[in-house]
A and B are shown apart, each in its own frame.
Chain A
């Protein structure tokens, strides 16, 4: 196995891109990443995406994006793992380069959601869950998270407002990120009074649907110096799965796939939770942020929310999370999100995070979650 590094990053602003289609957004991110790396060609392209078939009527994104980006002929394929598609695509690129079969791999994530905002989009997102035994009962994706959150509040005797810190931190951080969707702070009062979506989850627990694309270029670490003096090493890459549905979990309040992938990643990188300087976690809903912190070893069971209450997750805290706004405020273009997390972690490690910069960050973790915890991909990145 070869050591692998990120030599280029690219992203579009996250938001409502009425004038840019799926292929244009993907091109923007891929072209920016190729320019950043200074490469004209690549050996392979892995495109993370969830909803292209449902929303744009377009499957088969591998050749479409490769051709559109001027890369006709190379190996290219769409990678789908619901909201975890983006990091899954990076994982596939990592495997390709680490194995020695490919030298330059492009890993992109793209999602075009705003062409259909309504019940069809709600139904498309619900396809991340079990069609025969969850979705058929009229359940939406937010409702699945609401079932988890209500049980969490009940079992651990926590108040809903104890989760406010996750969203307040995300919004405060997004102010400094020019690519974020919501660049404005929110207050605890606003969190408390936000409109209910599926009780107990309200609007400010929830990340927004959006369009966006992000990309990274990977190559063997031994060759990274040919392209850049600011490469970010992939110290660990790990994926784990759990049951598709919540009702099939041994313990619905524990993200087993987060624990499994985080532990594999710590082992590969030879580090532990205490060594991580910042954590781009998957705050699709505040409850996911808390459960991710617990299963990844940053908090005890039932106590992930305490890191939001005591300020540990803020810049300058013990473990800054969602340093560029997270899913909540940067926005959540589902299949692209995992690549955004890795691009943002790389920005931090390269010292290019601008107003969001965490000083002296050298080791960053990114965790992307598909479905209600069914596919979880954890990466640990190391700066120079």
Chain B
């Protein structure tokens, strides 16, 4: 518990570091309590990318039309390639308007045909802005998503999809996220992107600390 708190302090930035003032900084990072960190990873609702039996989970909040989320895709792939025990949970938090929202819903709806990760990859690697629903659908179709099935699932599972998006939004607010992308690695929150190498080190550290006996 104490070590978790300390790590969160660090993540809350250098202000606390230079002051050594634990109390006010702790107040700042209340959002990332271990309970929240755990809740964020628990019951994902979507498939996990990477090792199914992985030990460290990286959570990424993203929007399919956010340029830096697009850039993060390669960094995430780098992590998964380098670290066979890491896994990634994508949380759709659309901030770029209706098309982004549609893209997020479509990826979630693809879960029911087992294509959510394929759908995610297809949209996050789009070479241009997703400027309309048609653009989104074209990319999904090219990735092997059954559009007729998708449309049915979008209607049939509307409530579940709504709930997932709402939940991501709530988590984002709870975590105090200011925008996309944002990463949660254990109880460390990284607002913004991160190069693959840094990501790997954070995952390794998280693994070491979670394996150490809890104090």
User: Is this pair of chains taken from one and the same complex?
Assistant: no
Residues of B near any A CB (own CB < 8 A):
none
